[in-house]
C-alpha cells in the first residue's frame, strides 16, 4: 500500500507539472510551482525505487528534498508580489532566490557526499529511508526553507485582499495538511517504529495545493474539481456499501458472496465505477439525441449565441440577430415578437415564433406555434429563448445607461451654453454703447432709427442675461395693485382700453423687481398685438385665496396657434415681431422661483388668457431675512 501510494504521488506530480507548464504560459509563478511538483514526484519515486532494491539511487533521490521547498519559496515570492503594488522586502528576497537555489544544491551535494541517508527494514516495510546523524542538517535546512516560504504566504495574506487573500489562506491550510502527512516520514529516523499511514494520503496534498492556487485564476479547474469530488464521494460510499455487504451477506444466506474477499468486491465495484465515469459523457449525449432528436446544443453553440447577442446595440438589431441564430440552428424560419417593438412587428404570421414580453419581474418568453415541433427543436427554442430574454434585460440596462449619460452631457452642455450666453451678452453692451454715442451726430431720422434698434438689442441682451444667469430673490411685502398700475402707467397704451380689477389689500411676499419683470413681459406682449387690433382691450384681474393669489391677464388680441400651446414657455418661441423669444420663458422661470405656476388658458371668454398662481408667502418666511439664491 505504501509503495502504491508513493507511485500514485509520483504520477500525480508529473501530470500536475505538465498541466501547470501547459497552462502557465509566461506566468513564472506557475512555472516555479511546476518545479515543486516535479521535485515532489522525484522524492516520492525515490521511495518506490528503494522498495525495488535500488536503495542507493532511492536515497539520492530522497536527499534532494531541499529543492522542494526552494521551488515553493520561489513560487510564494512571485505569487504574493504579483500585481501593481510591489513590496520592497519581497523584491529584495526575490533577488536572493538564485542564492537559495545554489545553497540547496550545495546541501544536496554535501548530503550525497557524506552519506546523509540510509535504508533500514521495519516490521512494516522492507526498505525505508532514515537520516543519519550527519544528515540532520539536510532536514533542518529543508524545514527552514519551508517555514520561510509559508512566512511569505502569511505576509501576503496580511497585505492582499479578495481572491488572492482567499488563495493564500487555502494554501496555508493545505500546507498544514502536508505537514501532518509528512511528519510520519521522519519517525523511523528518531527510532519511532510506526507505520507511516499519513503518507498514504500524499497524493491529496499536491492536488489540493495546486487547486488552492489556480481555482481563482483558472476557472475551468473548478468544474474538474467538482466532478472529481463527486466521483471520490461515490467511491467512498461504495466502499462503505461493500463493507456492509461483506458483513451482512453471510447472515442472510448469501454464503457465496460472503466468501468473496472484501478487497475483491471493492476492486470490482471500483472498476465498474471507473467504467461508468468513462462512458457517462458518451451515453449522456446518445440519450439526449434519442430523447431530443435534432437538438445539437453544446458549449460552443451557447458561447456563439451569447457573444453575438451581447454585441447588439439596439432592439431591431437584437431581433434580427436572434431570428438568424435560432433559424440557422433548427433549420426552420422563426420569428421573434418583441413587446417593445411596433404592433406590425408583433403580427408576424410565421408558423414558429418566440414572444418576448416585459413585466415588473423581468423579461419572459412564450413559444408560439411549437406544438407540432420535435422535442429537440422545442428544447433548442426554450434554451435560446431563455438566453434571449437575458440579453433583452442587458440591452435594456445598457440603453438606459446610455440615455442617462446623454442626458447628463446635454445638461452639462446647457450649463456651458448658459455661461457662454451670459458672457457674450455682457460683451455686447460695450459696442452697443459706442454705437449709441456715435449716433448723436447723425440726422434726426437716422438717429431715431438707430436708437430704436439699440433698444431692441439692449432688451435682447437683458433677456439673455436674465434667462442664462441665476435668480437672486429679495423677498419683501409687495402690494400687487400698486406694482401692476405703475407698469401700465409707464407702458404705451395708446389706442388700447385697459382695466385693473385688483383689490388694494392684496399683498404678496415676493421679490418686487422680479415680479415687476413678469408683468412687464406679459403686458408688453399683450400691447404689441393689441395696438393693431380694433377696440383692443387689456384686463388684469387678481383674486386672493387662503394661501395663494390667482392672477389672470386677459386680452382680446389674436388667439395663440394650437401648434404653440406645448412650447409656449420654451425659449426662442415667439410670434411677436422683434421679440427675443425669451419673454415667456423668463416669466415662467421667475414664477417657478417664487414657488408658483403659470399657464395659458383657452377656456375663458377672452381670446388670450395667462393665469399666474403665486403663493402669498414664500416657502420659508423670508421676510426680513437675507436673499435666497436659486439657480
Do 202 and 309 fall into the same domain?
Answer: no
pLDDT (0 to 100) of residue 44: 84
Q: Are 57 and 201 members of one domain?
A: yes
Distances from the Cα of 298 to the Cα of 276, 285, 294, 385, angstroms: 22, 10, 13, 16
Question: Cα–Cα distance between 217 and 210 in angstroms, integer?
Answer: 11
Q: Where does a domain end: 353, 385, 400?
A: 400
- pLDDT tens profile 284-327: 767 766 665 555 667 777 888 888 888 888 888 888 888 888 88
Domain co-membership, 280 together with 166: no
Residues near 121 by beta carbon (within 8 Å), at least 6 away in sequence: 127, 128
Asked whether residue 430 carries a pLDDT value surpassing 90, the answer given is no
Q: Which residues have CB under 8 Å from 106's CB, separation 6+?
A: none
Q: Which residues does residue 367 pair with via DSSP β-bridges, in sequence order?
A: 354
CATH of the domain at 61: 1.20.1070
Confidence band of 187 (pLDDT split at 50, 70, 90): low
Residue 443 to residue 431: CA distance in whole angstroms: 20
Give the total number of structural domains in the chain: 4
- Out of 400, 428, 449, a domain closes at 400
45-93 pLDDT, tens digit each: 888 888 877 888 888 888 888 898 898 888 888 888 876 567 788 888 8
Same domain, 303 and 283: no
Beta bridge partners of 609: 554, 601
Shared domain for 163 and 14, answered yes or no, is yes
pLDDT band (50, 70, 90) for residue 535: confident
Cβ-based burial of 545 (10 A; exposed 0-12, middle 13-18, buried ≥19): exposed
Asked if residue 442 belongs to a domain, the reply is: no
Question: What are 429's three cell numbers?
Answer: 453692451
What is the distance between the alpha carbons of residues 256 and 424, in angstroms, rounded to a whole number? 107
What's this model's pTM, rounded to 2 decimal places?
Answer: 0.43
Q: Are 550 and 509 in contact (CB under 8 A)?
A: no
| CATH number of the structural domain spanning residue 515 | 3.30.565.10
Residue 464 lies in a domain: no
Q: Is 263 found in the same domain as 176?
A: no
How far is Cα 122 from Cα 558, in angstroms, rounded to an integer? 119
pLDDT of residue 480: 92
Q: Is 373 within the bounds of a domain?
A: yes
At residue 597, the pLDDT reads 92
* Residue 141 and residue 11 in one domain: yes
Question: What is each CA distance from 528 to 169, 520, 607, in whole angstroms?
Answer: 83, 12, 15
Q: Establish if 84 belongs to a structural domain.
A: yes
**One domain for residues 249 and 176:** no
Q: Is residue 224 part of a domain?
A: no
Q: Does residue 580 sit within a domain?
A: yes
Shared domain check, 205 and 133: yes
Examine residue 528 and state whether it is found in any structural domain, yes or no. yes
Range of the structural domain that residue 337 is part of: 299-400
User: 552-565, pLDDT tens digit by residue?
Assistant: 999 998 888 877 87
Query: pLDDT at position 553, please?
Result: 94
Same structural domain, 309 and 339: yes
Q: Are residues 58 and 183 in the same domain?
A: yes
pLDDT > 70 in the chain, percent: 75
Identify whether residues 6 and 128 lie together within a single domain.
yes
Q: What CA dihedral angle connects 217, 220, 225 and 230, to 10 degrees?
A: 150
> Do residues 497 and 538 touch, judged by C-beta distance below 8 A?
yes
Final residue before a domain boundary, out of 357, 375, 400? 400
* Dist. CA 216–CA 214, nearest whole Å: 5
Mean pLDDT score across all residues of the chain: 78
- What is the DSSP annotation of 344-413? HHHT---SSEEEEEEETTEEEEEEES-TTS-HHHHHHHHHHHHHHHHHHHHHHHHHHHHHHHHHHHHHHH
Return the C-alpha cell found at 228: 472529481
Q: Is residue 382 part of a domain?
A: yes
Pinpoint the alpha helices (H) of 81-219: 88-95, 97-114, 136-159, 162-183, 202-214
Amino acid at each position: 500500500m505504501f509503495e502504491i501510494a508513493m507511485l500514485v504521488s509520483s504520477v500525480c506530480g508529473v501530470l500536475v507539472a505538465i498541466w501547470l507548464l501547459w497552462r502557465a504560459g509566461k506566468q513564472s509563478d506557475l512555472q516555479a510551482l511546476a518545479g515543486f511538483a516535479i521535485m515532489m514526484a522525484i522524492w516520492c519515486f525515490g521511495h518506490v525505487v528503494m522498495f525495488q532494491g535500488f536503495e542507493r539511487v532511492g536515497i539520492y533521490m530522497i536527499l534532494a528534498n531541499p529543492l522542494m521547498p526552494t521551488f515553493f519559496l520561489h513560487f510564494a515570492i512571485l505569487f504574493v508580489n504579483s500585481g501593481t503594488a510591489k513590496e520592497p522586502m519581497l523584491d529584495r528576497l526575490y533577488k536572493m532566490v538564485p542564492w537559495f537555489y545554489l545553497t540547496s544544491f550545495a546541501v544536496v551535494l554535501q548530503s550525497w557526499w557524506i552519506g546523509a541517508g540510509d535504508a533500514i527494514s521495519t516490521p512494516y516495510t522492507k526498505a525505508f529511508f532514515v537520516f543519519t546523524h550527519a544528515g540532520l542538517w539536510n532536514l533542518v535546512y529543508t524545514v527552514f526553507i519551508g517555514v520561510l516560504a509559508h512566512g511569505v504566504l502569511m505576509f501576503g495574506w496580511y497585505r492582499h485582499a479578495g481572491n488572492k487573500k482567499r488563495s493564500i489562506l487555502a494554501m496555508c491550510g493545505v500546507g498544514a495538511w502536508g505537514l501532518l502527512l509528512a511528519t510520519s516520514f521522519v519517525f523511523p529516523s528518531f527510532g519511532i517504529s510506526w507505520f507511516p499511514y499519513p503518507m498514504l494520503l500524499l497524493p491529496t496534498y499536491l492536488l489540493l495545493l495546486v487547486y488552492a492556487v489556480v481555482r481563482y485564476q483558472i476557472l475551468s479547474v473548478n468544474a474538474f474539481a467538482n466532478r472529481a469530488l463527486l466521483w471520490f464521494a461515490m467511491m467512498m460510499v461504495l466502499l462503505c456499501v461493500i463493507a456492509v455487504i461483506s458483513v451482512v451477506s453471510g447472515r442472510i444466506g448469501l454464503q457465496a458472496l460472503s466468501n468473496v474477499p472484501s478487497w475483491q468486491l471493492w476492486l470490482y465495484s471500483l472498476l465498474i465505477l471507473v467504467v461508468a465515469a468513462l462512458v457517462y459523457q458518451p451515453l449522456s449525449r446518445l440519450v439526449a439525441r434519442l430523447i431530443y432528436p435534432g437538438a445539437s446544443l453544446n458549449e460552443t453553440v451557447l458561447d456563439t449565441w451569447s457573444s453575438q447577442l451581447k454585441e447588439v446595440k439596439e432592439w431591431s438589431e437584437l431581433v434580427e440577430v436572434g431570428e438568424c441564430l435560432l433559424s440557422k440552428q433548427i433549420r426552420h424560419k422563426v420569428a421573434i415578437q418583441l413587446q417593445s417593438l411596433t404592433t406590425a412587428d408583433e403580427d408576424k404570421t410565421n408558423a414558429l415564433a418566440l414572444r418576448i414580453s416585459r413585466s415588473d419581474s423581468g423579461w419572459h418568453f412564450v413559444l408560439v406555434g411549437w406544438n407540432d415541433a420535435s422535442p429537440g427543436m422545442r428544447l433548442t427554442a426554450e434554451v435560446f429563448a431563455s438566453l434571449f430574454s437575458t440579453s433583452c434585460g442587458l440591452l435594456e440596462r445598457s440603453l438606459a445607461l446610455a440615455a442617462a449619460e446623454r442626458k447628463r452631457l446635454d445638461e452639462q452642455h446647457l450649463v456651458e451654453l448658459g455661461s457662454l450666453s451670459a458672457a457674450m451678452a455682457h460683451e455686447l453692451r460695450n459696442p452697443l454703447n459706442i454705437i449709441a454715442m456715435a449716433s448723436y451726430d447723425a440726422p434726426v431720422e437716422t438717429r431715431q432709427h438707430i436708437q430704436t434698434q439699440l433698444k431692441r438689442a439692449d432688451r435682447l441682451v437683458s433677456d439673455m442675461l436674465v434667462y442664462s444667469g441665476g435668480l437672486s430673490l429679495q423677498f419683501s411685502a409687495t402690494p400687487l395693485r400698486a406694482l401692476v398700475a405703475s407698469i401700465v402707467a409707464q407702458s404705451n397704451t395708446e389706442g388700447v382700453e385697459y382695466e385693473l380689477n385688483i383689490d388694494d389689500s392684496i399683498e404678496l411676499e415676493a421679490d418686487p423687481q422680479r415680479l415687476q419683470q413678469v408683468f412687464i413681459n406679459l403686458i408688453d406682449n399683450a400691447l404689441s398685438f393689441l395696438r393693431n387690433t380694433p377696440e383692443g382691450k387689456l384686463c388684469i384681474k387678481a383674486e386672493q385665496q387662503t394661501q395663494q393669489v390667482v392672477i389672470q391677464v386677459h386680452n382680446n388680441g389674436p388667439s395663440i396657434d394650437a401648434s404653440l400651446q406645448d412650447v409656449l414657455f420654451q425659449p426662442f418661441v415667439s410670434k411677436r415681431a422683434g421679440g427675443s423669444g425669451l419673454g415667456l420663458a423668463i416669466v415662467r422661470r421667475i414664477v417657478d422661483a417664487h414657488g408658483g405656476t403659470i399657464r395659458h388658458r383657452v377656456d375663458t371668454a377672452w381670446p388670450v388668457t395667462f393665469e399666474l398662481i403665486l403663493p402669498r408667502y414664500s416657502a420659508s418666511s423670508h421676510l426680513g431675512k437675507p436673499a435666497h439664491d436659486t439657480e
